């Protein structure tokens, strides 16, 4: 079963989408299975990360920004702004798809885990994801 999800982001950073994904999984009535989630963009990514303490997400964002800075003289793909090439690199270093087991009709996430869309562009925009439920 294929489902589509559009998330509108307005800024860079980690945006929790756990509830949005769960809202598509629950009505599928799968006692057990697999939810595969894929983002259809090259300047944003997906991750499973701690959802209890926001400082973990801030630290991840700061670390990745330090690792992949804007304004590197080696970048040649610059026509879409100073955040574009770093966004592509960040997406390449992180994940564009996730696989999450479904157990007892629910996403089998750990107690402190959430699903995040990681927007790597400053302004963001509508981000499309495809879910495959099997």
Confidence (pTM): 0.95
In sequence order, what are the residues at sequence separation of 6 or more whose Cβ sits closer than 8 angstroms to the Cβ of residue 80? none
As a whole number, mean pLDDT of residues 72-87 equals 95
As a whole number, mean pLDDT of residues 20-29 equals 96
Tokens standing for residue 73: 């003289």
Quote the pLDDT of residue 108.
98
By CB neighbour count within 10 A (0-12 exposed, 13-18 middle, 19+ buried), where does 54 fall? exposed
pLDDT above 90 covers a percentage of the chain that reads 99
Quote the pLDDT of residue 4.
98
- Residue 56 dihedral angles phi and psi, to the nearest 5°: -65, -40
pLDDT above 70 covers a percentage of the chain that reads 100
What domains are there in the chain, each with its CATH number?
2-133 (2.60.120.460)
Q: How far apart are CA 73 and CA 34, in angstroms?
A: 43
As a whole number, mean pLDDT of residues 29-54 equals 97
DSSP state of 42: S
């Amino acid at each position: 079963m294929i489902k589509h999800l559009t998330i509108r982001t307005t800024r860079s950073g980690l945006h929790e989408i756990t509830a949005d994904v769960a809202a598509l999984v629950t009505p599928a009535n799968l006692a057990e299975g697999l939810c595969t989630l894929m983002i259809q963009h090259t300047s944003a990514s997906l991750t499973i990360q701690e959802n209890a303490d926001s400082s973990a997400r801030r630290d991840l964002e700061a670390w990745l920004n330090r690792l992949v800075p804007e304004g590197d003289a080696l970048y040649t793909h610059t026509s879409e702004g100073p955040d574009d090439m770093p966004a592509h690199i960040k997406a390449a270093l992180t994940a564009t798809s996730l696989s999450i087991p479904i157990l007892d009709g629910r996403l089998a996430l750990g107690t402190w885990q959430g699903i995040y869309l990681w927007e790597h562009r400053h302004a963001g925009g509508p981000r499309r994801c495809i879910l495959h439920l099997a």
